[in-house]
Amino acid sequence: MLAVSCKHENYLMNSLRGITMQLSFSEKLRQARKNNNLTIEQLANMVGCSKSYISQLENDATKPSVTMLGKLVEALGVPITDFFQDNRAGSQETEGEMETSPAIIKSESLVKKGSRRTINYPDGKTKSHFLTRAVYQKKMQPILTVIEPGGDSNNEEKIVHPVGSEEFLMVVKGEIEFEVAGETYIMEEGDSFYFNGNTPHRWRNSGDETAEVLFVWTPAVW
């Protein structure tokens, strides 16, 4: 399997931050692959899928699963948020400025509700709000995920984080189905779960009301 060099990784991260927010996910993925000097076949081998699937992603013919998103950002060496529009309200900072700001890189940082960075899942029914900045400088990664009825992590694949990772979740509002290690649990408001992040798992909102779930990972996964 082809490895991504540090030189290419640094170049790619800087290049992605310069891409305008008008670009779609498919366009950003294509740009990221080319900036990293990878062919479609090489990227497909790195993430364990077919060349045609990568081609479909780059031509906006299909959307990646949450698991595939994780594989892509790991292979390309970029934060997942670089592929999505920055929804911080009222902020004039660029991505590069945000990452180097002293207020961001110090261990204590305040994230106001209106300035959270948000990503929308491919299913169109789920979005995650990042509750901290400069994730790769942190040992934990807290995220508040809002799941509309019918929203799920992925119908076809279960989520598997790197070996050694740990995950905690708590239902803040509503109800979800949570499957881990072959068992399915109905989790209601106030219920929580702690498990090894590399244990295959997935979740789904099968109810009639929007659910909100707090996830905390260690180390930072996205």
| pTM score above 0.95 | no
Residue closest to 8 by CA, chosen among 27, 34, 26, 29: 34
Give all strands of the β-sheet with 117-120 in edge-to-edge order.
117-120, 126-130, 141-147, 211-218, 166-173, 192-196
Give the C-alpha separation, 58 to 23, whole Å: 12
The residue that leads in pLDDT, 37 or 93, is 37
Confidence category of residue 102, pLDDT binned at 50, 70, 90? very low
What's the confidence (pLDDT) of residue 210?
97
Q: For 105-145, how does the pLDDT look when each residue is reduced to its tens digit (9 = 90+)?
A: 455 678 898 888 888 877 789 999 989 876 656 788 899 99
In the chain, what are the domains?
6-83 (1.10.260.40), 95-218 (2.60.120.10)
Residue closest to 146 by CA, chosen among 81, 214, 195: 214
Give the C-alpha separation, 98 to 94, whole Å: 6
Average pLDDT over residues 154-167: 77
Q: For 3-38, how does the pLDDT look when each residue is reduced to its tens digit (9 = 90+)?
A: 333 433 343 344 334 333 356 778 889 988 998 999
Give the C-alpha separation, 220 to 36, whole Å: 23
Confidence category of residue 94, pLDDT binned at 50, 70, 90? very low
Q: How many CB atoms lie within 10 A of CB 125?
A: 16
Query: Looking at the predicted structure, is the pLDDT value of residue 207 above 80?
Result: yes
Confidence category of residue 163, pLDDT binned at 50, 70, 90? confident
In the predicted model, what is the mean pLDDT of the chain? 77
The answer to whether the CB of 142 falls within 8 A of the CB of 216 is yes
Average pLDDT over residues 42-69: 85
